[in-house]
Amino acid sequence: DTGVSQDPRHKITKRGQNVTFRCDPISEHNRLYWYRQTLGQGPEFLTYFQNEAQLEKSRLLSDRFSAERPKGSFSTLEIQRTEQGDSAMYLCASSPETVYNEQFFGPGTRLTVL
């Protein structure tokens, strides 16, 4: 399968713990996006990478959130000192650098903070 993969698919953690999620984009896609989705809502944009450069972060991305994309390949999203409000589905997407960029989404990581 050459689609976008995310790991883990599910994560349960206690409030105050740190968690890290991984996203492997489709190879040769140099654009990578992170979104967050809560129940009953559409996904919300968090951040965007072009190759290894993080070009934009949403104001939703508090100081407890950090994302990296070393070497322009896979990406990680870390949440420090998790809060119950962080419980959501975290989605990763990738796209090629073309005039029109269809985004290919992964299956997401479901985070539950107890």
Partner 1 sequence: DAKTTQPNSMESNEEEPVHLPCNHSTISGTDYIHWYRQLPSQGPEYVIHGLTSNVNNRMASLAIAEDRKSSTLILHRATLRDAAVYYCILGTDSWGKLQFGAGTQVVVTP
When asked if residue 103 is in the footprint of partner 1 (CB under 8 A), the reply is yes
Kindly write down the DSSP assignment for every residue of 29-45, as one continuous string: --EEEEEEE-TTS--EE
Three-state DSSP at 76 gives: strand
* DSSP code of residue 85: G
Nearer to partner 1, 73 or 107 (CB): 107
Strand partners, 99: none
- 88 scored as a contact of partner 1 (CB under 8 A): no
Give which of 110, 85, 92, 77 is closest to 34, Cα–Cα: 92
Number of residues located near partner 1, criterion CB under 8 A: 26
Name which position in 75, 79, 108, 113 contacts partner 1 (CB under 8 A).
108
Query: Hey, which residues between 16 and 75 contact partner 1 (CB under 8 A)?
Result: 31, 33, 35, 40-45, 48, 50, 55-56
What is the Rg, in whole angstroms, of the alpha carbon atoms belonging to the chain?
13
Binding site for partner 1 (CB under 8 A): 4, 31, 33, 35, 40-45, 48, 50, 55-56, 91, 93, 95, 100-108
